[in-house]
Amino acid sequence: MDMFSEFGAARGQAKWSLRAQFQLTGAQRDEAKWGLIFLSPWLIGFTLFYLAPMIVSFLFSLYDFTLSAPEEARFVGLENWARMLSRDPNTWETLFVTFKFALISLPIGMVSAFLLAVLLNSQHLLGRNVLRTLFYAPTMVPLIAAILIWSRVLNPHTGWLNQMIALTGIDAVGMDGLRWLDDPNLIYLAYTFIGLWGIGNAILINLASLQGVPTELYEAASIDGAGWLRQLWSVTIPMVTPVIFYNLILSVVGLLQFFIVPWVLNLGSGYPEGTTNFYMIYFYKQAFTFQNMGYGATLAWFMFIIGLIITIFLFWSGRFWVYYAGESK
């Protein structure tokens, strides 16, 4: 009995200490209350405009539901998912197009934004402030207007890009020249050019991170005989990897949702030769053109799952290449 009594007393003491550990004082309760009050607008907005629509859209994916006849909605369980994964070749074809474009556009966009930020951060660059403004200014132009501008810039007959290339002796103008928006071999580069028009935000974020690198690190590297390239590789890039990682996440999510450019230029027709039939184009047609909201919700959730898996993988890989100042390894 003594042994059981001691065990019971120890258990009770452990419970009491655990309860005391999580028990808040009066000041802490007031602080938590005011914290919830100030967070409540965001929590309410998140619930109403994000969480609730996500739940409803998942329920839609379990129904044969069309916007034109909502009263005829019929529960089909996982039929939409089975159709999408096994009987609809368009799902995988559009995913292939999306990932192919992402593999081309992502490295070009990331490297361009970083190198331009390095250039604009240089102490030897004349007119830095003016150039920073000029590189950021295109982000202020509405996206639709920018796309229409670029459709003229890339025109094979009158576009100034082909006119400039022709100055080098290359036959770039005319029907036999570089048809950026008509050639399946050039269309992804053309879309990448349009995307580069809006990298001002990424440049600005990279520039801010570059200015936060301690100057004493460069001084120490210079004393050790490191040149500019060595300092860039061994000092600058490791110190700004958190910002590179942040831009990478945003870029991946944006490319998975790539929609506006092909829709404005060719109304999602897939021209030329199906190379612009992106996943989000297919989703939009199913959900809003054909009004098949049940199947459209299934496509949306599938892309959400793909994006979530990629994001989790990137966060896992970040442990091996993202450096945070002050962390211990």
Q: 298: domain CATH number? A: 1.10.3720.10
Give pLDDT tens digits for 174-233. 888 899 999 999 999 999 999 998 899 999 999 999 999 999 999 999 998 999 999 999
Q: How confident is the model at residue 311, as a pLDDT?
A: 96
DSSP secondary structure string, 215-254?
HHHHHHHHHTT--HHHHIIIIIHHHTHHHHHHHHHHHHHH
Q: What is the DSSP letter of 281?
A: H
Is 184 a member of any domain?
yes
Q: How confident is the model at residue 8, as a pLDDT?
A: 53
Is 8 a member of any domain?
no
At residue 169 the predicted structure's pLDDT band, cuts being 50, 70 and 90, is: confident
Domain span including residue 85: 79-321
Q: How many CA atoms lie within 13 A of 166 on its CB side?
A: 15
Q: How confident is the model at residue 7, as a pLDDT?
A: 44
If one compares 23 and 5, the residue with the highest pLDDT of the two is 23
Q: How confident is the model at residue 133, as a pLDDT?
A: 93
Cα 19 versus chain centre, distance = 43
If one compares 263 and 33, the residue with the highest pLDDT of the two is 263
At residue 69 the predicted structure's pLDDT band, cuts being 50, 70 and 90, is: confident
Is 279 a member of any domain?
yes
At residue 253 the predicted structure's pLDDT band, cuts being 50, 70 and 90, is: very high
The residues, ordered by sequence, that sit 6+ positions from 204 with a Cβ below 8 Å of its Cβ are 117, 132, 136
- Give pTM, 2 decimals: 0.87
Q: Is the per-residue pLDDT at 15 higher than 90?
A: no
Please give the Cα distance from 105 to 118 (Å, whole number): 20
Please calculate the CA angle 221-222-227 and round it to the nearest 5 degrees: 95
Q: Is the per-residue pLDDT at 16 higher than 50?
A: no
Q: How confident is the model at residue 5, as a pLDDT?
A: 55
If one compares 218 and 19, the residue with the highest pLDDT of the two is 218
Number of domains in the chain: 1
- CB 245, CB 322: distance < 8 Å: yes
Share of the chain above pLDDT 90, in %: 76
Q: What is the DSSP letter of 88?
A: -
At residue 9 the predicted structure's pLDDT band, cuts being 50, 70 and 90, is: low
Q: How confident is the model at residue 18, as a pLDDT?
A: 46
Is 277 a member of any domain?
yes
Q: How confident is the model at residue 21, as a pLDDT?
A: 54
- CB 290, CB 273: distance < 8 Å: no
Q: How confident is the model at residue 147, as a pLDDT?
A: 94
Q: How confident is the model at residue 326, as a pLDDT?
A: 60
Is 286 a member of any domain?
yes
Please give the Cα distance from 47 to 52 (Å, whole number): 6
If one compares 1 and 275, the residue with the highest pLDDT of the two is 275
Which of these, 285, 280, 301, lies nearest to 78 by C-alpha position? 301
Q: For the chain, what is the mean pLDDT? A: 90
At residue 241 the predicted structure's pLDDT band, cuts being 50, 70 and 90, is: very high
The region, left, alpha or beta by phi > 0 then psi within -120 to 50, assigned to residue 267 is left
Q: Is the per-residue pLDDT at 139 higher than 70?
A: yes
